[in-house]
Amino acid sequence: MGMNYDRIRDWILAEDSFDADRLGKCEAVMSLGNGYMGLRSATEERYLSETRNLLVAGTFNRFDEQEVTELPNAADLTAMELWVDGERLTLERGVTENYRRELNIRTGELRRSFRWTSPKGKTLRFESRRIVSLRRLHDIAMTVTVTAEDDLTLKLRSGISARVSNTGSQHFSEVEKRFYEKKTMQFVERTTQSGIVFVLNAVHRFFKNGAPLALDTDVNIEHRIIFADYMIPLKAGESFTAEKIANVNTTRDLDNEGLTLPELQERSRADLRESEAIGYAGLAEESAQAWREEVWDRTPIEIEGDEKSALDLFAVRFAQYHMRVFVPAHDRRMNIGAKGLSGEGYKGHCFWDTEIFLLPYYMFTAPEIARKLEEYRYLSLPGAHRKAAENGYRGAMFPWESAWLDDGETCPLYAGTDIHTGLPVKVWSGIIEQHISADVAFGVWQYGVISGDTDFMERFGYELIMDTATFWASRLEPGTDGRWHINDVVGPDEYHEHVNDNAFTNYMARWNLQKAMEYADRLKTENPALYARLDQKLDIAANYPLWRDGADRLFLPQPTAEGVLPMDDSFMDGEYVDLSKYKAQDFVGGILKDYSLEQVHHMQVCKQADCLVLFYLLEDQFPPEVKRASWDYYVERTLHDSSLSLSTHSVQACDMGDDAMAYDLFRKSCAIDLGPVMGSSDAGIHAAACGGIWQCAVYGFGGLRMLNGALRIEPRLPANWTKLRYTVCWKGEKFAVTVTHEGTQLEKLTHGREIELTVNGRTVRI
């Protein structure tokens, strides 16, 4: 597999060589989707090392009591295998020339082509196209065209196969298979634990030299599979095209609520007939139009400069592409998985990634989507209350990993094996990585301010912030110093577990407590009816003194004499290790090949930014000299073994005035999925890194921040960029920012109320 960037100005990401042992990377980074479902871009023909994923948002299932809930891998619709004079078309045999696979991120279409000569010497040209419709959320469409260079006979096999799993876990029971009139295939399956029924349909149309072609159908219905074989004789120069139109529906879908299974089966077939009549070309065109309207015309970004800047622009747009592919814009009951919908990694669970790394993009570009992501947190409050109660606390203690609304904590207890002991490694994040509750509150606050959505805050937002504050008040532990402490936690840097007074956790907890008091005071004066309702539900009168006492007496780590903010109470006592070897490696986690996780716990080494994320979120609470000293200290000790780390450091480097490092870290962040090295892309793209790339461009180089409810812009354009232009929404208004080395220009794009902001320290109104 070789990434090719020669057509990035045409919005094309290309693969120009084929390696049957390295399929995962392009399957993931070229995945298709529309937020309802994600389709991994496996090839039409099958290979041993492939992963064929069709994941539908929100359809979680638990395989057994020993495993956590995960998005189940639905039946495969994409395989369309060919035989040439009895020989199976596989690029592992014969001769392959002119291989090319391309993802057009502007239109959401995947194309693939090559010239293949079989071991018997028969030559053909192969072309395929595929989309997941952004206009019709349930539709998948694909075509395969074969042009013969010799006289030959093709056999095409295509169908629906449920002979798939999630790395071995089988989540479905077979319900029914039908082949209506030897034309429309229908496969019905049900998840084993959650009881969600999937109805998958597929229909084929055939053409020879562009004219419709009727073919005899050899029907095959076997265990967990339904398929048909078609025989097509071709003369040299003749072409054959197979169109396959499919759709996917589940009983969890909002638009299928209230339907019986027979009604759903019939309606989905009727929808398929409508899509079949439109055909692949029509479906692809209307989907491409939806991409233009919903994404590219609405949230444009432009970067001008040298040759490298073209790849920079493509990387930002690639991130935008995936942030539309994986966001469930259609349903507030769902959120964003750490791998989006591009693979089975992290089982489809959502983390703090949403609030800290992804939510900013949607808040500033598509606030109606951001609201749904935030409403998901409100709807999952019962699980947060349950987790708090199970741990002896009150209020809302949000799960570290979240799935379906009522699943509660879904973080696995064990993952991987200790290289020295050979024992399973305990995952402590679900138990003690508790900053997620403050992160959720911070996301609520950010959305409320940036969008100006008072309805959301009154219905959901204030309650979320106060409920999480109640958790923190109950979580605090008394110390011998007369202060409250937060002991035995994991901060954002997950290389250090069971630490006390993690700076990020403590400062964010205090922020949460203070914000709850601020809103309670405001509502009591400005909206007494809402205050009374919340008081009845949350007992504000009883909890307010606990919030105040917690905020006033919570221990906050203080800078050392050198001005460095300690990450926790023990990090700076750890062993100093020369990390140059691990920083030079072209893969992550190299240190864990030499040391156990327990050993790393006692070293001055960071997996990712910790205190630096704190400076990023609460930048006004720390003086410049503390940020600078801490930056110098932690940059030396950070390995960036998390995909979340590089972008945060890039934005911070902009704040530190280190333009060269900011740009270098940005390029490395872009390479997490687009580069050839990061093997963890095989399990799916890095969703949070997509948000991080956008933040590098807009927050870092573009200088955009929301600070204490006010908007400010302080750009730091890379030396090789001559212009950056981006569009954002602020309190219901929309404006564009154009940054050059000569200055910053603002353009109001809507005609509502005036916008006030600070640009390079000067108050501006537009």
- Tens digit of each residue's pLDDT (9 = 90 or more) over 704-716: 999 989 999 999 9
pLDDT at 206 over 70: yes
pLDDT value, residue 3: 58
CA–CA distances in Å: residue 658 to residues 226, 375, 563, 579, 605:
59, 38, 19, 21, 22
391 lies in some domain: yes
Look at residues 609, 639, 669 and tell me which one is the last residue of a structural domain: 639
How do residues 409-420 score in pLDDT, each as one tens digit?
Answer: 999 887 777 766
Both structure tokens of 556? 């906050």
Residue 395 and residue 247 share a domain: no
Instruction: Examine the pLDDT at 508 and tell me if it is beyond 50.
Output: yes
Kind of pairing between the strands at 184-191 and 197-208? antiparallel
Residue appearing with tokens 């000790």: 637
Are residues 253 and 402 both part of a single domain?
no
pLDDT, averaged across the chain: 96
pLDDT score of 615: 95
Residue 29 counted as domain residue: yes
* Ordered DSSP codes for 394-408: -S----SSB-STT--
**Does any domain span residue 340?**
no
Structure confidence at residue 1 (pLDDT): 46
Residue 47 sits in which domain range?
3-258
- 648 close to 634: Cβ distance less than 8 angstroms: no
Give 221-239 pLDDT, tens digit per residue: 999 999 999 999 999 999 9
- Catalytic residue among 189, 355, 463, 494, which? 494
Region 129-153: mean pLDDT is: 98
Which of 448-455's residues contact partners 24+ apart within 8 Å by CB, and which partners?
A: 449/706, 449/709, 450/363, 450/364, 450/367, 450/706, 450/729, 450/730, 450/731, 451/363, 451/367, 451/370, 451/371, 451/729, 451/731, 451/732, 452/730, 452/731, 452/732, 453/367, 453/371
Answer whether residue 736 is part of any domain: no
Task: Indicate the pLDDT class of residue 678, thresholds 50, 70 and 90.
Answer: low
Pick from 218, 240, 258: which residue ends a domain?
A: 258
197-218 mean pLDDT = 97
Q: What is the pLDDT of residues 608-621, one digit of tens each?
A: 989 999 999 999 99
Confidence at residue 152, expressed as pLDDT on a 0 to 100 scale: 98
Does residue 266 have an active-site annotation?
Answer: no
Query: Does 6 have pLDDT greater than 80?
Result: no
Token pair in block for residue 658: 């280190």
pLDDT of 5 higher than 70: no
R_g of the chain computed on alpha carbons: 27
Arithmetic mean of pLDDT, 344-366: 97
The confidence score (pLDDT) of residue 278 equals 98
Same domain, 55 and 194: yes
Q: Are 102 and 236 contained in the same domain?
A: yes
263 assigned to some structural domain = no
Would you say residue 762 has pLDDT above 60? yes
Instruction: Quote the pLDDT of residue 525.
Output: 97
Q: Is residue 112 part of a domain?
A: yes
- Residue 62 falls inside a structural domain: yes
Q: Which CATH number goes with the domain that contains 226?
A: 2.70.98.40
Same domain flag for 390 and 250: no
pLDDT digit string (tens) for 578-595?
999 999 888 888 999 899
- 304 inside domain: no
Check: CB of residue 34 under 8 Å from CB of residue 133.
yes
Directed axis angle between helix 436-451 and helix 503-526, to 10°?
50
Instruction: Clarify whether residues 253 and 386 are in a common domain.
Output: no
- Residue 463 clears pLDDT 70, i.e. is over it: yes
- Whole-number Å distance between alpha carbons of 262 and 199: 10
Choosing from 593, 618, 639, the residue where a domain stops is 639
In CATH, what number is assigned to the domain containing residue 540?
1.50.10.10
Share of the chain above pLDDT 70, in %: 98
Q: How many domains does the chain have?
A: 2
- Using a pLDDT cut of 90, give the percent of the chain over it: 93
Segment 70-85 shows an average pLDDT of 98
Q: Are 388 and 398 in contact (CB under 8 A)?
A: no
Say whether both 49 and 198 belong to one domain.
Answer: yes
Q: Note the pLDDT tens digit of each residue in 485-495.
A: 999 999 999 99
